[in-house]
Chains A and B, each alone.
Chain A
Amino acid sequence: MPSYTIEVNGKNLTVDAPEDMPLLWVLRDMLGITGPKYGCGINVCKACTSLLDGEAVRPCSVKVSTAAGRKVTTIEGLADGEKLHPVQQAWLEQDVPQCGYCQPGQIMNAVALLSRSSDPSDEEIDAIENVCRCGTYPRIRAAIKRAAELQSD
Chain B
Amino acid sequence: MGRHKSAVAERPRRNTVLTTHTVGRRRFLTYLVAAPLLTLGTEAVMQATSSSTPASAAVPSPPSPEDVFDIGEALKLAATPTMPLVQLEVGADGIARLQMPRTDMGQGLLTSFTMIIAEELDVPLDRVEVTHADARPELLFNQITAGSAAMRTFYEPIRQMAAIARARMVAAAATRWDVDGASLGTDAGAVIGPGSLTADFGTLSAAAAALDLATSSIRPKDPSEWELVGTPTGRVDARDIITGQKKFVMDHMAGTAKPALVRRPPTIKGAVGEVRNAAQVRAMPGVVGVVPIPTGVAVVADTIEQARQGVNALEVDFGPGPVDGESNATILEGIKQHVQPFAVPPLGAATVEAEFDWAPACHAPLETECAVADVRADRAEIWAGFQAPIVAQQEIALMLGLPQDAVTAHVVAPGGAFGRKCFFEPATEAAQVSQALGMPVRLMWHRTDDMRHGRQRPQNYHRIRATVVGGQVVAYEQRVSAVALEVAPGFGEILTDVATSLPPRAKNTVGEKAYSQTLFLLMVSSPYNLGVYDRTLAEIGNGIPTSAYRSVHCPTTRTCEEIVLDEVAALLDKDPLEYRKECAKDAAAAAVLDEVARLSGWGRSMPEGFAQGVGFHKESKTLTACVVELDGRDPQDPRVTKVTMVVDAGTVINPSGLEAQMEGCIAEAISLTLTAGLHIENGLPLEGSYSNYDWLRMRHYPKDSTVHIMPSTNEDIGGIGEVGITAASGAIANAYATATGIKPRSFPIVFPVDFEPFAPGALPAPNLI
A-B pairs with beta carbons under 8 Å apart, 12 shown = A21-B303, A37-B367, A39-B368, A41-B766, A79-B243, A92-B238, A92-B242, A97-B241, A97-B242, A98-B108, A102-B366, A139-B660
A30 contacts B by Cβ under 8 Å: yes
Is A13 on the interface with B (CB-CB < 8 A)? no
Question: Which residue of chain B lies nearest to A28 when distances are taken between CB atoms in the complex?
Answer: B254
B364, A137: Cβ atoms under 8 Å? no
Q: Which residues of B contact A63 (CB under 8 A)?
A: 768-769
> Residues of A with Cβ closer than 8 Å to B?
18, 20-22, 25-26, 28-30, 32, 34-45, 47, 57, 60-63, 66, 74-76, 78-79, 84, 88, 91-92, 95-104, 107, 122, 125-141
Contact A47 B254 (CB under 8 A): no
Name A's interface SS.
Answer: loop
CB pair B248–A101 under 8 Å, yes or no, is yes
CA distance A36 to B367 in the complex (A): 12
Instruction: Please judge, given known A-B contacts A42-B764, A43-B767, whether A133 and B244 are in contact too, CB under 8 Å.
Output: no
Q: Are A61 and B244 in contact (CB under 8 A)?
A: no
State in angstroms the CA–CA spacing of A25 and B239 once bound together. Answer: 25
Chain B residues whose C-beta falls within 8 Å of the C-beta of A88 in the assembled complex:
242-243
How far in angstroms is the closest Cβ of chain B from A93? 8
B residues in contact with A103, CB < 8 Å: 241-242
B464 sits at the interface (CB 8 A) = no
Q: Are B416 and A22 in contact (CB under 8 A)?
A: no
State in angstroms the CA–CA spacing of A102 and B699 once bound together.
17
Select B241's contact among A39, A100, A132, beta carbons within 8 Å.
A100
Chain B window 637-660, contacts with chain A (Cβ cutoff 8 Å), 1 for yes, 0 for no: 000000000000000000010001
Measured between beta carbons, the chain A residues less than 8 angstroms from B240 are: 100
**Residue B523 is within 8 A (CB to CB) of chain A in the complex:** no
Known: A40-B447, A133-B364, A137-B698. A98 touches B243 (CB 8 A): no
Residues of A within 8 A of B447 (CB): 39-42, 45
A99's partner among B413, B690, B695, B703 (CB-CB below 8 A) is: B413
- Residues A141 and B242 in contact in the complex (CB < 8 Å), given A32-B254, A99-B105: no
Is the Cβ of B767 less than 8 Å from the Cβ of A42? yes
Among A61, A100, A128, the residue within 8 A (CB) of B698 is A128
* B window 224-273: CB within 8 A of A: 232-235, 237-248, 250-251, 254-255, 259
Chain B residues bordering chain A, tally (CB within 8 A): 71
For chain B, residues 320 to 340, give those with C-beta under 8 angstroms from any C-beta of chain A: none
| B237 partner residues in chain A, CB cutoff 8 A | 97, 100
B601 within 8 A of partner (CB): no
A29 touches B302 (CB 8 A): yes
B233 neighbours in A (Cβ, 8 Å): 95
CA distance A25 to B367 in the complex (A): 16
- For residue B242, give the distance in angstroms from its CB to the closest CB of chain A: 5
Chain B minimum-CB-distance residue to A77:
B244
B666 within 8 Å of A by Cβ?
Answer: yes
Contact of A62 among B105, B416, B768 (CB under 8 A): B768
CA distance A104 to B203 in the complex (A): 40
- Closest residue of A by beta carbon distance from B237: A100
Say whether A134 contacts B305, CB under 8 Å: no
Min CB distance A140 to B, Å, is 7
Given A22-B305, A44-B690, A139-B660, A107 and B366 touching (CB < 8 A)? no
Q: Are B255 and A32 in contact (CB under 8 A)?
A: yes
Taking the closest CB of chain A, its distance from the CB of B474, in whole angstroms, is 39
On whether the beta carbons of B106 and A99 are closer than 8 Å, the reply is yes
**Cβ–Cβ < 8 Å partners of A91 in chain B:** 238, 242
Give the nearest-CB partner of B666 in chain A: A135
Select from chain A the residue with minimum beta-carbon distance to B252.
Answer: A34
CA distance A76 to B242 in the complex (A): 9
Verify if B668 is at the interface (C-beta below 8 Å from A).
Answer: yes
- Complex Cα spacing A141 to B667, Å: 14
Residue contact B768 to A101, C-beta cutoff 8 Å: no
On chain A, the residues within 8 Å of B691 by CB distance are 40, 42, 44
Quick check: B769 and A25 within 8 Å, CB to CB? Answer: no
List 19 additional A-B contacts (Cβ < 8 Å) besides A131-B366, A135-B663. A22-B766, A25-B303, A28-B304, A34-B254, A39-B368, A40-B689, A40-B690, A62-B769, A75-B244, A95-B660, A96-B238, A97-B235, A99-B366, A100-B237, A128-B697, A128-B698, A135-B667, A137-B663, A138-B703
Question: By the criterion CB–CB under 8 Å, are B106 and A98 in contact?
Answer: yes
Is B209 positioned at the interface, with any CB of A under 8 Å from its CB? Answer: no
A47 near B366 with CB under 8 A, answer yes
Residue contact A60 to B415, C-beta cutoff 8 Å: no
B232 touches A95 (CB 8 A): yes
Please, which residue of chain B has its CB at the minimum distance from the CB of A97?
B241
Bound CA–CA A75/B242 (angstroms): 8
For B308, the chain A residues whose CB sits under 8 A away are: 41
Q: Does B705 contact A (CB under 8 A)?
A: yes
